[in-house]
Amino acid sequence: SPNVIRSWGSIFDELPECELKREAYQALKTFAEGWGEGYAEAFREALREPSGKAMANQEQEQEQEQEQEQEQEPNPVRLRAPVGEGLQSDLVSTRTRQGELLNASGDPAAAAAEVQTRVAVERVFAHWRQRFGHAKAVLDTKRHNIISSALGMYSEADLCQAIDGYRNSPHHMGHNDRNTVYDDITLFLRDAQHIDAGLR
């Protein structure tokens, strides 16, 4: 529901201004717009676009604070982390929607990869929902894990193309001896054999 997207605002505001935040903003914006105008409007209300200016101001403030601390103490103890390390600690402490740590290892590159994977999983899932008309389908753990695993073998575009292939399959759309529709994303993306079949 659009209210879920509105709830992202407070979490998103906790992230420091940086390139990763701008990339996440664009990916989330595309995701919300893919669900329709109501979701896109909720996104525009809840999240403000990150700005490079704010990032520069934040860096400048941190540098000034560090200089002041060094002047005040003969043997300074670093109270604030430098810009790169600050990003790392902020990413570690920022919680995802599921309430888990974004990246327990504290590695910013791993955290960025995790965010990109989550966004790609959500885009593939949104594509499937739109193509098969499953507006109320939920991205549960099973579906998330299957899509994430498939993204380890294929690109996001390949998975969307495989989904389209199954949409064009009379057998999967109910024209079979059982008159049964086989259209769950977990069937299509469960392994390389099934993904390849959708790509043909």
**Same domain membership, residue 118 and residue 86:** no
Residue 198 in this model has a pLDDT that exceeds 60:
yes
Last residue in a domain, options 77, 104, 131: 104
Distance, in Å, from the CA atom of 2 to the CA atom of 9, rounded to the nearest integer, reads 12
pLDDT digits (tens, 9 = 90+) for 28-48: 888 888 888 888 888 888 888
**Same domain membership, residue 64 and residue 127:** no
Distance, in Å, from the CA atom of 125 to the CA atom of 138, rounded to the nearest integer, reads 9
Region of poorest pLDDT, from 6-10, 34-38, 76-80, 161-165: 76-80
Last residue in a domain, options 53, 77, 104: 104
**Same domain membership, residue 46 and residue 71:** yes
Residue 77 in this model has a pLDDT that exceeds 60:
no
The residue with greater pLDDT, 35 or 122, is: 122
Structure confidence at residue 98 (pLDDT): 36
φ and ψ at 143, to 5 degrees? -65, -45
Task: Give the pLDDT mean for 90-117.
Answer: 56
Instruction: Tell me the residue range of the domain where 174 lies.
Output: 107-200
Last residue in a domain, options 84, 104, 124: 104
**Same domain membership, residue 124 and residue 98:** no
**Same domain membership, residue 98 and residue 4:** yes
Helix axes 19-34, 37-46, angle to 10 degrees: 150
**Same domain membership, residue 139 and residue 196:** yes
What value does the mean pLDDT of the chain take?
A: 77
Please give the single-letter amino acid code of residue 87.
L
**Same domain membership, residue 190 and residue 115:** yes
**Same domain membership, residue 100 and residue 1:** yes
Structure confidence at residue 62 (pLDDT): 60
**Same domain membership, residue 159 and residue 70:** no
Structure confidence at residue 76 (pLDDT): 40
Residue 178 in this model has a pLDDT that exceeds 80:
yes
Bridge partners, residue 95, by sequence? 101
Residue 58 in this model has a pLDDT that exceeds 80:
no
Q: Are 175 and 142 in contact (CB under 8 A)?
A: no
Grade residue 144 by pLDDT with cuts at 50, 70 and 90: very high
**Same domain membership, residue 134 and residue 97:** no
Grade residue 150 by pLDDT with cuts at 50, 70 and 90: very high
Domains held by the chain: number: 2
Structure confidence at residue 114 (pLDDT): 84
Residue 59 in this model has a pLDDT that exceeds 90:
no
Distance, in Å, from the CA atom of 66 to the CA atom of 82, rounded to the nearest integer, reads 9
**Same domain membership, residue 22 and residue 69:** yes
Write down the pTM of the prediction: 0.49
**Same domain membership, residue 180 and residue 168:** yes
Q: Are 25 and 40 in contact (CB under 8 A)?
A: no
